[in-house]
Amino acid sequence: MSTSVIPGQLVAALDETQVAQEAATRIAKAIREAVAQRGIATLALSGGNTPRPAYERLSREPNVPWNKVSVFWIDERAVPPTSPRSNYKLAKESLLDAAPVPPENVYRMIGEAVDLDQAAREYEVLLRKLLVGTTVFPREFPSFDVAVMGIGDDGHTASLFPGEASVDVRDRLVLSVPEAAEKGREARLSVTAPVIENVETVLVLAVGAKKKEPLQRIWSVAGSTKDTPARVLRDVRGTVYWIVEKAAGGFDG
């Protein structure tokens, strides 16, 4: 097996519950620190199955100034916000309503848009408006204080999938990603690699034996983002916490 180097801090968790709690604790801490520094925090959420328990626990974390937190998405499926496939619906049910996050602080990706590329461009304009050049976001490149990321069994993250050109795009912040009907995958909206690379604190959650192989591909020194787009997580300039359950290799790191 090629040499592995974990680009960040490995947080080994015994089970899914511990992954959720370790994530919730660290997200809450990063939010408090961002608000203490700048009076506001930006949180970007992934979807899928893994993050739900973490979002539920996060909604119960003490002393989180939710009225100062703006919530964005890392990616969204091309479905209405009421669809069980919607990453917005997942977050609304598990975190936003319970925290609660003021609705005016919630910036949903418009997955149901007829013109998905136009929706991607509009979300990019929103990110540039809210995250760049303002007093509270003195960063030269738009990104988030905190982002929750997952790993697909195929080695994707966000909606940057193997074999797609999306992972190589560096002149856009947000992209529409075509459907892959043969894989039963609807079209998506996704932030691009540069946005992920510029996040201050990234929490990567991995639960289940199916994550072990993609994680090894990500952590391997040798590899390509074309085959394993989640390798973009190796280039995050901020702090990356790999919160990995035992079956996913958390203790084999």
* CB 50 to ligand 6PG: min, Å: 3
Nearer to ligand 6PG, 55 or 66 (CB): 55
Pick one of 8, 53, 150, 214: the residue that binds ligand 6PG (CB under 6 A).
Answer: 150
Pick one of 8, 53, 142, 152: the residue that binds ligand 6PG (CB under 6 A).
Answer: 152
48 binds ligand 6PG per the rule CB under 6 A: yes
How many Å apart are CA 215 and CA 213, to the nearest integer?
A: 5
* CB 131 to ligand 6PG: min, Å: 19
Angle between helices 16-38 and 51-58 (to 10 degrees): 50
How many Å apart are CA 72 and CA 196, to the nearest integer?
A: 13
* Contact set for ligand 6PG, span 62-81 (CB under 6 A): 74-75, 77
Is 34 in contact with 40 (CB distance < 8 Å)? Answer: yes
H/E run at residue 87: helix 87-91
Is 8 in contact with 215 (CB distance < 8 Å)? Answer: no
Name residues whose C-beta falls within 8 Å of residue 86's C-beta, 6 or more positions apart in sequence: 47, 76, 77, 79, 80, 111
Amino acid at 137: F
Nearer to ligand 6PG, 35 or 109 (CB): 109
Pick one of 42, 105, 143, 157: the residue that binds ligand 6PG (CB under 6 A).
Answer: 157
How many Å apart are CA 158 and CA 150, to the nearest integer?
A: 7
The tokens for 44 are 């970007």
Nearer to ligand 6PG, 34 or 177 (CB): 177
198 binds ligand 6PG per the rule CB under 6 A: no
* CB 75 to ligand 6PG: min, Å: 5
* Contact set for ligand 6PG, span 81-140 (CB under 6 A): 87
Position of minimal CB gap to ligand 6PG: 150
Give contact residues for ligand 6PG (rule: CB under 6 A). Answer: 46-50, 74-75, 77, 87, 150-152, 156-159
